[in-house]
């Protein structure tokens, strides 16, 4: 199987991203986020491992790319999880992609992306930092392996100071857990102050495995689920009610605009809430776009 694949993991009509490639240096992720979907698709998803012969295969594939679509790193694992400190595959991948002039989209929760500012600043690149809450105690519960929200916000600042376009993903919002209006405002305001120009947001979508993890971590969420998750089942996910999703995402959109940022939802089917000419993968921030 090729390392660089066309991006379309769910084949969902709700995915509004423009065409791009996907690249995952690692299989699985160490962060173990309670809401993560990868354990539905990847065996031993929270026990990550490097891709075999990754750099050798990548060099060959990049050299033979036939178009200039951006490469997204990574949408099924975090490219800067602790394993990266051992193998360095993401940094080496960036060097190869830079050599061939390939635009890059990074999505991460990690502060380690700061290490590669020297390479990213020389590329056509945009970085999305996922921060689901500014409350450290909540983040420790639902994202046990990830850096603190405060540290991630500082990473946003350092990237922006280096001239690298940055988006913040408030993704997912967990009903009853990370959806308090004052908390959302604090997070959006902080993202703007640190230099983010774009907000992406969605509501937690339930699958049996991630639902079990969330309820184990936050037992009372079971009642929230019974009350709110009466929305459609799409691509194997149970959605919260449309009324709830529209209300909370409209709130985030209003906050993003108040603090001078663009806004878009992700796989929600609520395109009327989205700003024009922006994308949830932040590809509109690339210079080539």
Cα–Cα distance measured from residue 128 to residue 109, given in angstroms and rounded to the nearest whole number: 9
- Within 8 A by CB and 6+ apart from 65, the residues are 4, 21, 100, 102
Strands 49-50 and 104-108: unpaired
Cα–Cα distance measured from residue 88 to residue 248, given in angstroms and rounded to the nearest whole number: 38
Q: Would you list the domain boundaries of the chain?
A: 5-285
Whether 248 contacts 241, CB under 8 Å = no
Confidence check: pLDDT of 289 > 70: no
pLDDT, residue 68, reads 86
Cα–Cα distance measured from residue 277 to residue 193, given in angstroms and rounded to the nearest whole number: 23
pLDDT tens-digit profile of 50-106? 999 999 999 999 999 988 899 999 988 999 999 999 999 999 999 999 999 999 999
* pTM as predicted: 0.96
Into which CATH architecture does domain 5-285 fall?
Alpha-Beta Barrel (3.20)
């Amino acid at each position: 199987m090729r390392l660089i694949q066309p991006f379309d993991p769910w084949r969902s009509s709700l995915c509004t991203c423009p065409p791009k490639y996907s690249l995952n240096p690692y299989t699985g992720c160490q962060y173990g986020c309670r809401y993560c979907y990868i354990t539905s698709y990847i065996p031993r998803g929270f026990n990550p491992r490097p891709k075999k012969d990754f750099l050798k295969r990548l060099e060959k594939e990049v050299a033979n790319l036939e178009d200039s679509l951006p490469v997204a790193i990574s949408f099924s694992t975090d490219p800067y999880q602790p394993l990266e400190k051992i193998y360095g595959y993401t940094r080496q991948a960036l060097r190869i992609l830079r050599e061939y002039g390939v635009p890059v989209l990074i999505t991460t929760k990690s502060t380690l992306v700061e290490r590669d500012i020297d390479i990213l600043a020389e590329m056509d690149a945009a970085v999305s930092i996922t921060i689901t809450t500014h409350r450290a105690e909540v983040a420790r519960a639902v994202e046990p392996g990830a850096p603190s929200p405060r540290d991630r916000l500082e990473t946003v600042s350092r990237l922006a100071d280096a001239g690298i376009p940055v988006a913040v993903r408030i993704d997912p919002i967990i009903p009853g857990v990370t959806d308090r209006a004052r908390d959302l405002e604090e997070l959006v305001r902080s993202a703007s102050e640190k230099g983010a120009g774009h907000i992406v947001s969605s509501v937690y979508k339930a699958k049996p495995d991630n639902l079990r993890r969330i309820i184990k971590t936050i037992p009372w969420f079971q009642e929230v689920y019974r009350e709110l998750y009466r929305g459609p089942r799409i691509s194997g996910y149970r959605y919260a009610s449309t009324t709830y999703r529209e209300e909370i995402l409209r709130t985030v959109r209003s906050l993003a605009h108040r603090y001078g940022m663009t806004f878009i939802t992700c796989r929600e089917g609520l395109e009327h809430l989205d700003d024009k000419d922006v994308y949830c993968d932040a590809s509109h921030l690339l210079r080539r776009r």
